[in-house]
């Protein structure tokens, strides 16, 4: 059998001191930008450290208060709905891409509710676990910005709107109202006057924005048979709500779903009830994904570059960590991709 190899040993300050011909204290002063060594010695120590591949210990940085080289992301949603949610998978992929470039780790946790999320932030702050956080699913009455401001944790809110009460917090957002208006406009042009919006979790800021936008468009166009119904984003609730609205006395001719999973489940439920898509009912998914192109008919969907959404949020957080100012960044409005699941109302 081949001899067992010993694990690689990380270079230490002692190794650097030996190679550079200086004391360990001089190495510490040089690498931590402290006075006590000449610029010539500082440059020599840094060159040797680079040659040896030395990196500062994350644990030591945390204990000294210099940082944890890690950012945090907490999601307060039912865990069983996240595994098939393409939006979060792509968002996290985009975030991780930028963090990897900066050699930053991502600490991810799923919790039951916002109270649990706030408890996680307090624990992370007390333990020096993260240097900053990415906040998702902003609420209409949200305690998190105030808490994070109190703790002094840099934060970027993903999907929020500019917050004058917390100017030190960056925001990356998309115009949900504009996207909803474009969908309603397209359906209206196809002759649809009865529209049901199968929405996500109540209390989420983007859910409320979409509901308000739908109501505003309905009022502007004189549509009286338009409504929104909230769910937990799951396929089971998407299908159940679909059955309920289609079995009503005046079923909608168009259904807008707040994610791709519910749209696929809803289209299947409609077919089971004897409704043909799109002859009897048109279907639109808010998030485009491979799921929308794995069913028949292919589903019309709102498309956006979710990977870039995540990259943008991560870049804004790293900018805050570098001492930059808080900013509000708007990403492009999701655009509707028309496919086989939307069509004109019969007779129009």
pLDDT single digits (tens) 112-121: 999 999 999 9
With CA atoms as reference, report the closest residue to 188 among 233, 221, 158, 143.
221
Distance of alpha carbon 133 from alpha carbon 148, whole angstroms: 9
Looking at domain 13-55, its CATH architecture is: Orthogonal Bundle (1.10)
Distance of alpha carbon 190 from alpha carbon 282, whole angstroms: 10
Lowest mean pLDDT among 79-88, 213-222, 282-291, 335-344: 79-88
Which structure tokens are listed for 186?
A: 């397209």
Residue 307 has pLDDT above 90, yes or no: yes
Q: Given this model, what pLDDT does residue 264 score?
A: 96
Stretch 194-214: mean pLDDT, rounded? Answer: 95
Q: Do domains 70-175+306-330 and 176-303 have the same CATH topology?
A: yes
What pTM was computed for the model?
Answer: 0.80
pLDDT band at 8 (very low <50, low <70, confident <90, very high): low
Stretch 77-101: mean pLDDT, rounded? Answer: 85
With CA atoms as reference, report the closest residue to 86 among 313, 307, 335.
307
Q: Given this model, what pLDDT does residue 1 score?
A: 43
Q: Where are the domains of the chain?
A: 13-55, 70-175+306-330, 176-303
Share of the chain above pLDDT 90, in %: 71
CATH code of 176-303, in short, is 3.40.50.2300
- CB-CB contact of 341 with 267 (8 Å): yes
CATH superfamily of 70-175+306-330: Response regulator (3.40.50.2300)
Distance of alpha carbon 116 from alpha carbon 253, whole angstroms: 40
pLDDT band at 35 (very low <50, low <70, confident <90, very high): confident
């Amino acid at each position: 059998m081949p001899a067992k190899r010993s694990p690689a040993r990380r270079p230490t300050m002692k190794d650097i001191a030996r190679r550079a011909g200086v004391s360990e204290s001089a190495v510490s002063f040089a690498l931590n930008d402290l006075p006590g060594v000449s610029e010539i010695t500082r440059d020599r120590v840094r060159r040797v450290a680079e040659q040896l591949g030395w990196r500062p210990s994350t644990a030591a940085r945390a204990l000294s208060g210099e940082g944890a080289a890690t950012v945090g992301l907490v999601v307060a949603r039912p865990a069983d709905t996240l595994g098939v949610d393409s939006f979060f998978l792509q968002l996290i992929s985009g975030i991780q891409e930028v963090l990897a470039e900066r050699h930053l780790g991502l600490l991810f946790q799923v919790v039951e509710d916002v109270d649990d999320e706030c408890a996680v932030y307090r624990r992370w702050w007390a333990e020096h676990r993260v240097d900053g956080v990415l906040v998702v699913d902003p609420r209409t009455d949200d305690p998190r910005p105030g808490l994070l401001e109190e703790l002094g944790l840099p934060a970027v809110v993903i999907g929020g709107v500019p917050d004058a009460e917390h100017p030190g917090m960056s925001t990356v957002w998309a115009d949900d109202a504009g996207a909803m208006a474009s969908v309603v406009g397209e359906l209206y042009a196809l002759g649809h006057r009865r529209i049901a919006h199968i929405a996500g979790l109540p209390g989420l800021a983007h859910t409320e924005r979409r509901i308000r936008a739908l109501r505003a468009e309905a009022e502007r166009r004189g549509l009286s048979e338009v409504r929104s119904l909230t769910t937990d984003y799951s396929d089971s609730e998407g299908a159940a709500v679909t059955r309920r609205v289609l079995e009503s006395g005046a079923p909608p001719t168009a259904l807008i779903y707040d994610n791709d999973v519910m749209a696929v489940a809803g289209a299947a439920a409609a077919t089971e009830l004897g409704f043909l898509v799109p002859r009897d009912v048109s279907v639109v998914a808010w998030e485009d994904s491979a799921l929308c192109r794995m069913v028949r008919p292919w589903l019309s969907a709102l498309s956006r570059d979710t990977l870039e959404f995540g990259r943008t949020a991560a870049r804004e957080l790293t900018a805050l960590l570098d001492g930059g100012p808080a900013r509000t960044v708007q990403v492009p409005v999701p655009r509707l991709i028309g496919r086989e699941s939307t069509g004109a109302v019969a007779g129009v």
